[in-house]
Structure 1
Amino acid sequence: MSIDPSSIPSFGVPQPPAGGGGRPAGPPPIVVPDQNLVTQLLDQMQLKHVVDEEGDLVAPWDGFRVYYMFRGDQKELFAVRAFYDRPYTLEQKGEILDLIDEWNRETLWPKVYTHTHEDGVVRLIGECQMIIGTGVNIDYFITTTANWTQAAVGFEQWIVERLGLQEDIEEIDGEGDGDGDGPAED
């Protein structure tokens, strides 16, 4: 399974309604993003998504999930978090920390960290956050959310390459049948 971050469809500024004059000249509007806006964005990006039991939007891929969450008393914090399913042992944690330190130094997002479960299994989480409570330029929000999504996918590809796991993954996927290039089908 190889995931090509460029396989996430690009999109532009939302189109003006038919027959309308379009957006007036000047800066794009300031909005307070909400789950409906993110749902529209994921639809535009043609990404499969669901709402989980906690009410967060989730876009599933093979091997990880990307969550779109609003947090805070007034939902003033927007976070995109990727939960990577591949387990690591405590013995591997040092190597994994070295790799994610390298990623975090060389990239803007997502910032990746480990989470060690009570049973000793280590998993990776990637996270990006934006304060949105007073509003944000809609074009900035859309572009940033799409870039964060693409970067979460890109991290999965990067870690697979760095750990030399591509052949193992292709064997699991049925000898590299190409099914792992996009969002998971649930």
Structure 2
Amino acid sequence: MSIDPSSIPSFGVPQQPAPAGQPPVIIPDQDLVKQLLDQMELKHTVDEEGDLLAPWEGFRVYFMFRGEQQELFAVRAFYDQPHDLERKAELLEALDEWNRETLWPKVYTHTHDDAVRVIGETQMIVGMGVNLDYFVAMTANWTQAAVTFNTWIAERLGLAAEEPKPDESAEGEA
């Protein structure tokens, strides 16, 4: 039995211009994300590795492009709250609950020395282009979800936490 090559979908089809009235298909970059963070009125900076980040009290959200052609866009949150190794099973149970019940960010643990920390992330392949409205909506939603998770995990584990707010001490770029 042979397969007709024309029946195989081509995922590398050149991008077609958007129909009139449709948002353009773009290949996003760090400057676009900076503009979006400015519109969201979020302070942001670029770290020593060149990654864009928006700091909150208690965690940081990074907006990173990875891959040979920067074709992978990731929003990754690093939560500063250390958790005791003895409570890791309870923490994992809570993270499993979050991962089952929500779309993003997917969260996991990182154990270093004698503490466990939580990282959340979500990713999108953008190298072939993406609808501008979709990219903007997903970036904003993923950022809000990172903030929501911080509140949720504090409540779920009975940790005292205030409503997360952007870290005003960070130097922002306009």
Alignment TM-score, normalising by the size of structure 2: 0.84
Report the residue type matching 1:184 in the other structure: D
1:34 equivalent in structure 2: 29
Report the residue type matching 1:150 in the other structure: Q
The structural deviation recorded for 1:120 is 2.2
Which of the residues 44, 49, 65 maps onto 1:54? 49
Deviations 1:53-91 (A, max 9, x none): 000111000000000000000000000000000001111
- Could you tell me which runs of 5 or more consecutive residues in structure 2 were left unpaired when the two chains were aligned: 1-18, 170-174
Following TM superposition, the consecutive aligned residue runs of length 4 or more in structure 1 with deviations greater than 4 angstroms are none
The structural deviation recorded for 1:181 is 4.4
Partners of 1:181 and 1:63 lie apart in 2 by 8
The structural deviation recorded for 1:157 is 0.5
Secondary structure (helix, strand or coil) at the match of 2:79 reads: strand
Query: Which structure is richer in relative contact order (CA contacts within 8 A, separation 6 or more)?
Result: 1
Which of the residues 120, 124, 145 maps onto 2:139? 145
Partners of 2:23 and 2:44 lie apart in 1 by 27
Give the root-mean-square deviation of aligned CA atoms.
Answer: 1.5
Alignment TM-score, normalising by the size of structure 1: 0.79
Q: Which has the larger radius of gyration?
A: 2
1:171-182 correspondence runs (5 A): 181-182=164-165
2:100 equivalent in structure 1: 105
Which of the residues 119, 123, 128 maps onto 2:117? 123
Q: Percent identity among equivalent residues?
A: 72
Deviations 1:108-156 (A, max 9, x none): 0000000001x12100000000000000000000000000000000000
What is the number of residues matched between the two proteins?
Answer: 152
- Could you tell me which runs of 5 or more consecutive residues in structure 1 were left unpaired when the two chains were aligned: 1-23, 171-179
Partners of 1:35 and 1:28 lie apart in 2 by 19
